[in-house]
Amino acid sequence: MAGTVAMRRTAARRQPDTSATTEPTWVRTLLIVVSLIFLAIFLLLPLLAVFSQALAKGWEVYAQSLWDADALAAIRLTLLMALIVVPINTVFGVIAAWAIAKFQFVGKSLLITFIDLPYSVSPVIAGLIFVLLFGRQGWMGPWLESHDIRIIFAIPGIVLATLFVTFPFVARELIPLMQAQGTEEEEAACVLGASGLQTFWRVTLPNIKWGLLYGVILCNARTMGEFGAVSVVSGHIRGETNTMPLQIENLYHEYNITAAFAVASLMALLALVTLVFKSFLQWKTSQQLSAEELGYTGD
Amino acid sequence: MGIEARNITKTFGTFTALRNVSLSVATGELVALLGPSGSGKTTLLRIIAGLEEPDDGSGAILFHDEDVARTQVGNRKVGFVFQHYALFRHMTVFENVAFGLRVRPKSQRPGRNLIKYKVMRLLKLVQLESMANRYPHQLSGGQRQRVALARALAIEPKVLLLDEPFGALDARVRQELRQWLRRLHDEIHLTSLFVTHDQDEALELADRVAVMNNGQIEQIGTPDDVFHKPATEFVVKFLGQVNFFHARLEGGKVHFSTLAWESPEHAGTPSQPAHVFIRPHELDVNIIRNGHPALQATVKRIHSAGPNVRLDLTAESGERLCAEMTQERYRSLNITSGSTVFVTPRDVKVFADKP
């Protein structure tokens, strides 16, 4: 008896259509077709255009465009940005999420608001803030100049601007996850004699690793792709302060379309790899979650 | 004394969770903290464990006569079992149980083989040797609770504290696990304190029961004591179903409904209002007046599925009553819904109304 009930329930889950929510076939087809066409026009077509333009003059020109000294410098700088910014924001994100999810303190909601700030501020404004702070006419400009320190139109400025724009990604990903997991496992670890650090490495970190990786990947994608804020602070010095997105813009303005699209194709590839990673991580996280849920209802 | 908590007070903001509570548990004893939610029982348990701090300067906590109030939670050597198990979800059963041994400082950490030996011995104790390589989500609720217990025992705790250990389990598993825990306790004799809101669980499992209400311990005693000699009205009401009457004490007698009951212990008390409580099984039901003072009542409903038969009655004077009897007695009475019966109390609990 219990068996038939259970079977009926899974059957019902597989076919959730009840007469109240079922649409006629033509409506369903229409909705699916419309969304597919939309995706094709706005996502697939541009992607194809990037690769076809990049390869329009053949593989040789494509390779040459990428092997160009300035292009290589831009690629190197972009990778350097990722190497600096992503680890810093990962550590910051974990610390902030930990503090918000596991402790009660005054000013907690203020901290959450601040973490969200880069989402709501235009990247161009973010860049301008740093120019106003560290630029030659800025607040700290004279002092920096007298000590021969360059921030704006140099790599430190690009790092700062990118840090600002990308810092919510990891924290935002972790906060809901850590809040949902609560503090019972950490308490259990403490009672069993684990120190704070042991608790973090052995209990907290393994529990958040998929969400953390997901946040890191999003953060990395944005770091490499950031244009607005970096554009304001970098000064577009070819071979020195041009990241890949800036290099693409430069080439495009010089009517060097093939080279522009060649570099763009690299970024598109990066986006595709990120997408695959992202889907994998999402699948992994949901698998972990559903396994736990199944366990809980399995009593 | 195995566990001693003295004069513990705890407030959360404006809410007082514990008011100057003292509790002792003898070495090797199993004591239940019984009370409704919000009564402070879990807070007391967490303070004893060191997961919460009592209010500044209030109280002392001793394990085996050693003051641990200033000792960090990790150094108190308590075995703590959480209501929702709190197993490490990314670790196997084996790793969960081994955790407390693996995080010890290097000088005190047992070797790999010793850890394996200890963990497997504990898993054998909780009958889960075959599950060592499973993950928590692959276990049933009862199995998870046993893993949590093995993990708590792995650090060779001085005392064992259990927070609603069977709260998240279904009735049948609960019953089994309860008897199993009692047998385990008789085997290892670890000083234990557990929190529950289920009076059957407390009465069946514990050597002594502390009934808590509103941040205070109302009564502490053997299950027999708290059930048969309740100290306060709250204890009577909390330990199972009970019939309640407004009454009046006068000249050594308590008057309720249409009855006057001799109450020798109130012989000296002046005339005043009182409350009377009678357990359903302490009401005798007859179909004729047998000479004893009795309440006349009408049978409203009969619940006969179970070891005992329960009758819902309405007294002549309007009160609703509940009476319980054996199946044999019920059959010999030959009553149906609507029958008129005569009800005589065998025992009543009288509490003078507090002014």
pLDDT at A1 over 60: no
Chain B contact set for A287 (CB, 8 A): none
Q: Report chain B (355 residues): mean pLDDT per 10 consecutive residues.
A: 92 90 94 93 94 85 90 91 92 95 91 93 92 92 92 93 87 86 90 93 94 95 94 93 90 85 82 91 89 88 92 90 93 90 91 76
B91 interaction partners in chain A (CB closer than 8 Å) = 206
What does DSSP say about strands B78-81 and B159-163: parallel, antiparallel, or unpaired?
parallel
pTM: 0.79
Q: Please say if the pLDDT value at position A10 is more than 70.
A: no
Mean pLDDT of chain A: 83
Cβ contact (<8 Å) for A299 and B75? no
Residues A16-27 have pLDDT tens digits of 555 667 778 888
With a CB cutoff of 8 Å and minimum separation 6, the contacts of B236 are B230, B242, B277, B349, B351
Q: Identify residues of A whose CB sits under 8 angstroms from chain B CBs.
A: 184-185, 187-195, 198, 202-203, 206-207, 291-292, 294-296, 298-299
Q: In the prediction, which pLDDT does B46 show?
A: 94
Report the percent of chain B where pLDDT is more than 90.
Answer: 64
For residue B154, list chain A residues with Cβ-Cβ distance below 8 A.
192
Residue of B nearest to A291 (CA): B137
Q: Do B88 and A189 touch (CB under 8 A)?
A: yes
What percent of chain A has a predicted confidence (pLDDT) above 90? 22
- Exposure string for B7-37, b = 16+ CB within 10 A, e = fewer: ebbbeeeeebbbeebebbbeeebbbbbbbee
Q: What is the pLDDT of residue A2?
A: 38
Contact B89 A292 (CB under 8 A): yes
Q: Within an 8 Å CB–CB cutoff, is residue B203 touching chain A?
A: no
Chain B interface disruption, residue of A102, A191, A212, A286, most B CBs within 10 A: A191
Cβ-Cβ contacts under 8 Å for A257 (sequence gap 6 or more): A53, A251
For residues B127 and A7, the model is more confident at B127
**Model pLDDT, residue B208:** 96
Confidence category of residue A288, pLDDT binned at 50, 70, 90: low
In chain A, which residues have their Cβ closer than 8 Å to the Cβ of B138? 295
Q: Above pLDDT 70, what percent of chain B?
A: 99
| Mutation site for A-interface testing, chosen from B89, B97, B144, B153 by largest number of A Cβ within 10 Å | B89
Give the separation between CA A284 and CA A292, rounded to whole angstroms.
Answer: 12
| ipTM for this prediction | 0.84
First-to-final CA distance of chain B:
38
Separation between Cα atoms, residue B121 and residue A234, nearest integer Å = 65
Judged against a pLDDT cut of 50, whether residue A299 lies above it is answered with no
Of the two residues A294 and B85, the one the predictor is more confident about is: B85
Residue A13 has pLDDT above 50, yes or no: no
Does residue B169 sit at the A interface (CB-CB below 8 Å)? yes
